[in-house]
Amino acid sequence: MRKIAVQINGRVVEGEVEPRLLLGDFIRDNAGLTGTHFGCEHGVCGACTVQLDGEPVRSCLMFAVQAHGRRIATVEGMAPSATELHPLQQAFHESHALQCGFCTPGILMTMEAFLRAEPDPSPERIRAALAGNLCRCTGYQNIVTGVRLAADRMK
């Protein structure tokens, strides 16, 4: 067992974990944040994407002990308050960019980091950035529309 402390959405979460415990399991079980979803558990679908020190990572491919002393952001931490959505979340809502919602947290975490790096992306660049996030319900068009709407509003 190893003791770790991870800052998740600004709150330090400590635990004594098996070295092989996945980061996503630590987030869900130790921090009680269930927005991070496991899909394929092989790093292919992107549903488990969180941000590690501001960069998107697959929480199904990373051990919790690797996050010791680092900052994690999850979808639960995106909204600025309990009554206000992040511009990207609001744009997804307005653009009907989600259906079942299973993939949405991973897509939001990926796109939030993408928009910080590329604040005025073309639809083609958005599609390229989405390549690692699979959605079985949508045709991606409304997702691209939502990301573009958020980019316009965040300028």
Range of the domain at 136: 87-154
> Is the predicted pLDDT of residue 141 greater than 90, yes or no?
yes
- Examine the domain organization and report whether 73 and 91 are in the same domain: no
Q: What is the C-alpha to C-alpha distance for residues 64 and 110, in angstroms, rounded to an integer?
A: 20
Residue 42 lies in a domain: yes
Contact predicate 75/16, CB 8 Å: no
Domain CATH number, residue 129 = 1.10.150.120
Tokens 């073309």, residue?
Answer: 122
**Final residue before a domain boundary, out of 53, 77, 101:** 77
- Examine the domain organization and report whether 73 and 92 are in the same domain: no
Task: Quote the tokens at residue 73.
Answer: 């952001």
- Examine the domain organization and report whether 39 and 103 are in the same domain: no
> Is the predicted pLDDT of residue 69 greater than 90, yes or no?
yes
Domain count, the chain: 2
Q: What is the mean pLDDT of the chain?
A: 97
Kindly provide the b/e burial profile for residues 29-55, where b requires at least 16 CB atoms within 10 angstroms of the residue's own CB: ebbebebbbebeeebebbbbbbbbeee
The predicted structure's pLDDT at residue 128:
98
Residue 82 lies in a domain: no
> Is the predicted pLDDT of residue 131 greater than 90, yes or no?
yes
**Final residue before a domain boundary, out of 77, 108, 123:** 77
The predicted structure's pLDDT at residue 139:
85
Q: What global pTM score does this model have? A: 0.96
Q: What is the C-alpha to C-alpha distance for residues 149 and 53, in angstroms, rounded to an integer?
A: 26
pLDDT by residue (tens digit) across 96-127? 999 999 999 999 999 999 999 999 999 999 99
The predicted structure's pLDDT at residue 87:
98
pLDDT by residue (tens digit) across 70-98? 999 999 999 999 999 999 999 999 999 99
